[in-house]
Structure 1
């Protein structure tokens, strides 16, 4: 297994640690942010999430630079993104930091696209993520990070950046999902 794929797998392996930080009641104290309280465990989880998310750029850059793009990488990379983002979104609902309906829409899109990729794989075709899908992932990462940080530093000025970012992520997620299905409809049409 090449280095980019190992980096991708490391992203998947960080997910349980991220979840543990948000589920186990570590008493590391709190940070006051305006009128809100940010538990230190949420800050640490946000940093771990950001580090894990950054590996998405690292593995892609390394794979392209050294011509190490593989079908396994084309499959694992978007899967790792979906697992990380889905875990984070579910945890945000658990922590009452994101509405469940938005998370359901986003995760449903991810399952639908993964299903399309599986149909394509059954036909011997690998569907890589497009540019709009990559933009969608980065907007989701920004929104999740802002929510995990309880809208820091924007809470000091009363600007709801985290909420705006979450709605932007919802919109781009739906639009990119429709775009992905339109561009790859031939896979469904031609499947046996």
Structure 2
């Protein structure tokens, strides 16, 4: 298997996740800045690997599989860390919504691919907006210290709430798009569990 530049960037993003966890728990004043920087670099490599793949035609089946896995791992780990630092019901509910949706939609995409209906659940515009809002929220919550007059924690919480609402909206859109195939499979004994 040939490892392309986009795949190498994705592997680097996955390798940065345990580094993020270790840095997050280090007993120093600068760790919140370092954790936010590591997560930001990961988000930038996510954009960069996609750009390189499209620009230079460096697609691979392994890269196509690995990229969404890296994204979901990074987001889930960041949410767990943030809830650990801010253990409120509000933050836990937002994290549960986002992680729950990711698991649900991943399973839905896999099932739709198995029945030849993958095109029905492609990434929509609302999903891209959700991702941007979510990434900015996670960076702010990992940093969490005020930046001058900007209450970073409060703004991050607000953005995460918006991201959770967009998560529910986009998740509903995916389920609605998949519903005809799901309903049809009820009548087809070859698709029974």
Contact 1:19 1:91 in 2 (8 A): yes
Q: Which structure carries more strand by proportion? A: 1
Unaligned runs of 5+ residues in structure 2 are 186-190
Counterpart residue number, 2:7 = 5
* RMSD over equivalenced CA pairs, Å: 2.3
Counterpart residue number, 1:172 = 166
Q: 1:114 aligns with which of 106, 111, 119?
A: 106
Deviations 1:76-95, CA, capped at 9 Å, x for gaps: 22221111001000110111
Regions of 4+ moved over 4 Å: 124-128
Deviations 1:56-106, CA, capped at 9 Å, x for gaps: 100111111112234433332222111100100011011116611111111
Deviations 1:35-71, CA, capped at 9 Å, x for gaps: xxxxx11110110000011111001111111122344
- 1:79 is aligned to 2:69: yes
Cα pair distance change 1:120/1:74, threshold 3 Å: farther
Q: How does 1:92-131 map to 2 (within 5 A)?
A: 92-96=82-86, 99-123=91-115, 128-131=122-125
- The separation in 1 between residues aligned to 2:33 and 2:43, in whole angstroms, is 15
Unaligned runs of 5+ residues in structure 1 are 31-39
Q: TM-score, normalised by structure 1?
A: 0.82
Q: Which has the higher contact order (CA 8 A, sep 6+)?
A: 1
Contact 1:78 1:129 in 2 (8 A): no
Q: 2:40 aligns with which of 26, 31, 50?
A: 50
Q: TM-score, normalised by structure 2?
A: 0.81
Deviations 1:147-187, CA, capped at 9 Å, x for gaps: 1111532x625573212211111111111111122223355
Q: Which structure carries more helix by proportion? A: 2
- The separation in 2 between residues aligned to 1:71 and 1:124, in whole angstroms, is 17
Cα pair distance change 1:59/1:45, threshold 3 Å: same
- The separation in 1 between residues aligned to 2:123 and 2:60, in whole angstroms, is 13
Counterpart residue number, 1:156 = 149
- 1:14 is aligned to 2:4: no
Aligned pair count? 179
